[in-house]
A and B are shown apart, each in its own frame.
Chain A
């Protein structure tokens, strides 16, 4: 059995450049045969993970992503063990999480670099704590770690809310990977989009026009405005497992993520465009049925002046049609409709955080059978 929480939401952004490609152009995608504005899944997840909503709620339960574990352990060990021994031990412990760099140079700087990981390592708070405790113990007893002590690491990575939600991959020790409990789709605009060019000049204030009246700098920025359809699916059972069965923390994590989804924006070029936005419409669904995005609602690009109202209607219509064709795709729902003045963020968060509401099926024909 799986308890899926699906969130569909519509957020309108003014002209902005939230997520750029390697040429600095806002990312796009062809959908339903027309060009749409896009914000990548990765960009959204980063915006949510680093948001205030997420931070404030989960400050003690967030993982750390770093290459610097070896140096942190070295600092803990150096005084007691002496530089050489501390260096060896710190490297030995850090290597449990992956390959370390091998700089060609000599010297202090290179020695520090040699304690760094080649790639980023995502550590849960519990893991970091346990590693430090072990490092201090080794320093106190002035010895190298035993085989048994080393075998205890890396831990499962469980316990960190963001590792539980977004997963972890350690190529060197796949057994310690954590499967992400949240699935996040790329955001696509519900309407067709043409990316526009903003040609700009910067005036040289001290140029008195004695020789020429030219600009001090010329450049161009590409931008577009869009109403995005966004989709997130949380596997509550997997989240709970990733959090070692801590129901309270799971509820807090779901709340924090969904609040971040609806209130936090990707920060790309935010000072040039003041592009922060909040979701205007959100539909949360719970159920055991196979999750599906409702992106097909916008295969036919939304046209006309009243985009938001048209988009909300299209979303509801497609959902009803899908339920009719396949039987109920969900069991219970909550809606936050800022346009129609229905629902509130608090009510929506209370709904998603509650452990109930996953059984049965509504909206269409008979409930879909759950497998063995």
Chain B
């Protein structure tokens, strides 16, 4: 038995980023290691530039997650309007200045749009689990729990436009392995979710890393979400064990 830090991840929209190149910004339903570590780092007040502290956190914490409701996929078409070249040139010719973005967009010239397609998951319900790895220099789990209750930076579910809509409610659970911890933990405010537990025919999906006695995965997949260098935005591949279990009793069914 050992302590695990478990917390709720729920919001109307979530976007745990996958490998993204160019204008397609894919996301996965199951929380990513890098995304959840980022949330913890935000709670601790670490900045994106605090490379060493982020590395210590990444080295010192193990990660597992439970996806109770996958939710619906949404691909959001997104444009950003940009004043194009000729407009800026003609403003220069007229010796006028475009002081603000409002002025730019009001100028009677051509405009371009930069397009992107961003993936989200709607109504997804998940929980995360972290533990200290051997020789860990990361802050103690109870300290992390306290900081998640009063974070320095605002927490979000993968993308900043995805706020959490239930308190994270971080708590310590004694268990033999992360799957047991995620099965045991209870979040009282789940009652507020009422309706979204309704059509729960889908299985719970547990994902974890590392080897645990007595824990046999259905399959093992590779995911590129292990921090390699925050400064260079590099992520390494990681092995994630996957186990599906039917019928969690986690979310109260409406009577």
Q: Does A295 contact B (CB under 8 A)?
A: yes
Q: Is the CB of B150 within 8 A of A370?
A: yes
Distance in Å: Cβ of B124 to nearest Cβ of chain A: 11
In the bound complex, CA of A238 to CA of B195 (Å): 36
Distance in Å: Cβ of A130 to nearest Cβ of chain B: 16
Q: Is the CB of B146 within 8 A of A71?
A: no
Cβ-defined partner of A30 (8 Å) among B72, B115, B153, B160: B72
Contact with B along A168-193 (1 / 0, CB 8 A): 00000011010110011110100000
Interface size bracket, A side: 35 or more
Q: Is the CB of A65 within 8 A of B195?
A: no
Distance in Å: Cβ of A269 to nearest Cβ of chain B: 15
Q: Is the CB of A116 within 8 A of B85?
A: yes
Cβ-defined partner of B78 (8 Å) among A42, A179, A291, A299: A42
Q: Does B11 contact A (CB under 8 A)?
A: yes
B-side contacts of A183, CB under 8 Å: 154, 156, 160-161, 163
Q: Does B222 contact A (CB under 8 A)?
A: no
Distance in Å: Cβ of B197 to nearest Cβ of chain A: 10
Distance in Å: Cβ of B55 to nearest Cβ of chain A: 16
Contact with A along B143-168 (1 / 0, CB 8 A): 10011111111111000111111111
The stretch of B26-34, B100-108, B209-217, B241-249 that contacts the partner chain:
B100-108
B-side contacts of A46, CB under 8 Å: 81
A30's nearest neighbour on chain B, judged by CB, is: B72
Q: Is the CB of B101 within 8 A of A290?
A: no
Known A183-B163, A296-B192, A322-B167; contact A33-B150, beta-carbon cutoff 8 A: no
Distance in Å: Cβ of A118 to nearest Cβ of chain B: 10
In the bound complex, CA of A66 to CA of B151 (Å): 35
Query: Please, how many residues of chain B have a CB less than 8 angstroms from a CB on the other chain?
Result: 73
Q: Is the CB of B78 within 8 A of A40?
A: yes
Q: Does A307 contact B (CB under 8 A)?
A: no
Q: Is the CB of A32 within 8 A of B100?
A: no
Q: Does B21 contact A (CB under 8 A)?
A: no
Q: Is the CB of A119 within 8 A of B48?
A: no
B170's nearest neighbour on chain A, judged by CB, is: A290
In the bound complex, CA of A326 to CA of B187 (Å): 10
A69's nearest neighbour on chain B, judged by CB, is: B88
In the bound complex, CA of A188 to CA of B74 (Å): 14
Q: How many A-B residue pairs have CB under 8 A?
A: 208
Q: Is the CB of A32 within 8 A of B150?
A: no
A177's nearest neighbour on chain B, judged by CB, is: B48
A288's nearest neighbour on chain B, judged by CB, is: B150
Contact with A along B96-114 (1 / 0, CB 8 A): 0011111011000000001
Q: Does B231 contact A (CB under 8 A)?
A: yes
B254's nearest neighbour on chain A, judged by CB, is: A300
Q: Is the CB of A290 within 8 A of B189?
A: no
The stretch of A55-63, A138-146, A194-202, A205-213 that contacts the partner chain:
A55-63
Known A66-B83, A112-B85, A183-B163; contact A290-B188, beta-carbon cutoff 8 A: no
Known A72-B88, A233-B154; contact A33-B164, beta-carbon cutoff 8 A: no
Q: Of A235, A292, A329, which is in contact with the most chain B CB atoms at under 10 Å from its CB?
A: A292
B188's nearest neighbour on chain A, judged by CB, is: A325
Q: Is the CB of A32 within 8 A of B195?
A: yes
Cβ-defined partner of A295 (8 Å) among B149, B165, B191: B165
Q: Is the CB of B48 within 8 A of A186?
A: no
Q: Of B83, B122, B143, which is in contact with the most chain A CB atoms at under 10 Å from its CB?
A: B122
Q: Does A22 contact B (CB under 8 A)?
A: yes
Q: Does A302 contact B (CB under 8 A)?
A: no
New A-B contacts (17) at CB < 8 Å, excluding given A30-B74, A40-B161, A49-B101: A2-B150, A22-B115, A29-B13, A31-B12, A33-B195, A41-B160, A50-B105, A64-B104, A113-B85, A177-B48, A180-B160, A235-B154, A290-B151, A293-B164, A321-B191, A369-B146, A370-B150
Which 7 A/B pairs are nearest by Cβ-Cβ distance?
A68-B88, A41-B161, A371-B147, A30-B72, A22-B77, A295-B165, A293-B165
16 pairs across A/B with beta carbons < 8 Å?
Answer: A4-B154, A32-B195, A32-B196, A33-B123, A33-B198, A41-B160, A63-B100, A67-B82, A120-B80, A186-B161, A188-B12, A238-B153, A289-B149, A296-B10, A325-B192, A369-B149
